[in-house]
Amino acid sequence: MTALRNVAAIVQKEWRHYFGSPIAWVALFVWTMLFGIFFYFSFSFFLEQSMRIAQQGMEYGGGSIKISLNEYLIRPLFHNMAVVALFLAPMLTMRLFAEEKRQGTIELLATSPLSDWQVVLGKFLAASGLYALMILAGLVNVALIWTYATSRPEWKPVVTGALGLFLLGACFLAMGTFVSTLTRNQIVAGILSFCLFLGMWTLGWADAPTAGPVMKAVAYLGVTTHLEDLVKGVVDLKDVVFYLSVVTFGLFLAHQSVESQRWRA
C-alpha cells in the first residue's frame, strides 16, 4: 500500500516536471503532427490505390477487388511512428535521473523512506504514461476512419499495432531510464540513449534469408522484429514476452545502477 503510494507520488512528480516544462508539450506536438502527416499520406495513397483498382476493375470487367486498409494504412503508419518513437524516447528519459543528480535532489529521494525500486518504477511508469498518452492522441486520426468510412474496417490490427508500438517504446524508455542513471548530464544521457536505441533497432537487420543460426539469434533480439506480427493484428505471446523481458531487464539495470552508485560514491 505504501509502496504503491510512493510509486504514485513519483509518477505524479515526474508528470509535473514533464508538463511544467516544454518537454511533454514538444513531444506531444511533434508526435501528433508526424502522426497526422503520416496518416494523411498513407491514407491518400490508399485512396489512390483503391481508385486505381476500382477503375481497372471497371475497364476489364473484373469483380470488385478490395485492397486491405491494414496493408496500406495501418502497417506503414505504425512502422513510421516506431521510427519517431526511436527519436523521441531519449527526450522523455534523459533527465529522469541525470537531473536529480545534478540538482542534488537524488539525496532527498535517497534519504526518504522510499526504496530504489519504487523510484525507478515510478520514473519509468511516468515516462510510459506520457508515451501512452502520445499514442492515444495519435489514434484520434485513425478514429476518423470509423467516423466517415461507409464500411467498418477491422479494429483489431489498430489495437494490436498500438500495443506493439507501446511495447516497443516501453523497451526504449526502460533502457533510457537506465542510461539516465549513469551520468549527471542529461545531454550525455540523451545521446547515449539514442545510440543504444539505434543499436537495439539495427539488431533486427541481421535477419536475411541466407542468415545462419547466430545471425538469426541476433535478429531475434532486435526490437523491430517483434513488431511485425503485432501490426498485422496477430498477438503472439512470444513477442509480448520479448518486449516485457527487455523492459524488465532495463529496469533491473537501472535499479542496480542506482544502488551500486551509493556504494561506490
Partner 1 sequence: MIEVDSLTKRYGRATAVDGVSFKVEKGEVLGFLGPNGAGKTTTMRILTCYLPPTEGTARVAGYDVFAQPMEVKRRVGYLPETPPLYPDMSVAEYLDFCAKIKGVPAGERRTRVAEAIETCRVGDVRTKLIAKLSKGYRQRVGLAQAILHNPAVLILDEPTAGLDPKQIIETRELIKALAGSHTVVLSTHILPEVSMTCGRVVIINKGRVVAEDTPDNLTRRLKGAGTLRLEVKGDEASVLEAVRSVPGVLVAHARGGHDGVAVIDVEAEAGRDLRSELARAVVTKGHGLVGLQQMGMSLEEIFLHLTTADAEEPAPAA
Return residues touching partner 1 (CB under 8 A).
2, 5-6, 9-10, 12-13, 16-17, 20-21, 103-115, 262-263, 265
Nearer to partner 1, 10 or 174 (CB): 10
HEC states along the chain? CHHHHHHHHHHHHHHHHHHHCHHHHHHHHHHHHHHHHHHHHHHHHHHHHHHHHHHHHHHHCCCCCCCCHHHHHHHHHHHHHHHHHHHHHHHHHCHHHHHHHHHCCHHHHHHCCCCHHHHHHHHHHHHHHHHHHHHHHHHHHHHHHHHHCCCCCCCHHHHHHHHHHHHHHHHHHHHHHHHHCCCCCHHHHHHHHHHHHHHHHHHHHHCCCCCCHHHHHHHHCCCCCCHHHHHCCCCCHHHHHHHHHHHHHHHHHHHHHHHHHHHHC
Q: Write down the least CB distance from residue 172 to partner 1, Å.
A: 24
Q: Write down the least CB distance from residue 70 to partner 1, Å.
A: 43
Nearer to partner 1, 214 or 265 (CB): 265
Radius of gyration of the chain (CA): 21
The rounded distance, in Å, linking the Cα atoms of 8 and 174 is 17
**Residues 14/118, Cβ–Cβ less than 8 Å:** no
Nearer to partner 1, 113 or 209 (CB): 113
**Residues 100/111, Cβ–Cβ less than 8 Å:** no
Nearer to partner 1, 39 or 97 (CB): 97
Q: Write down the least CB distance from residue 248 to partner 1, Å.
A: 24
Nearer to partner 1, 32 or 185 (CB): 185
Q: Write down the least CB distance from residue 33 to partner 1, Å.
A: 25
Q: Write down the least CB distance from residue 45 to partner 1, Å.
A: 43
Q: Write down the least CB distance from residue 17 to partner 1, Å.
A: 6
Nearer to partner 1, 54 or 110 (CB): 110
Q: Write down the least CB distance from residue 129 to partner 1, Å.
A: 17
Nearer to partner 1, 111 or 147 (CB): 111
The rounded distance, in Å, linking the Cα atoms of 82 and 84 is 5
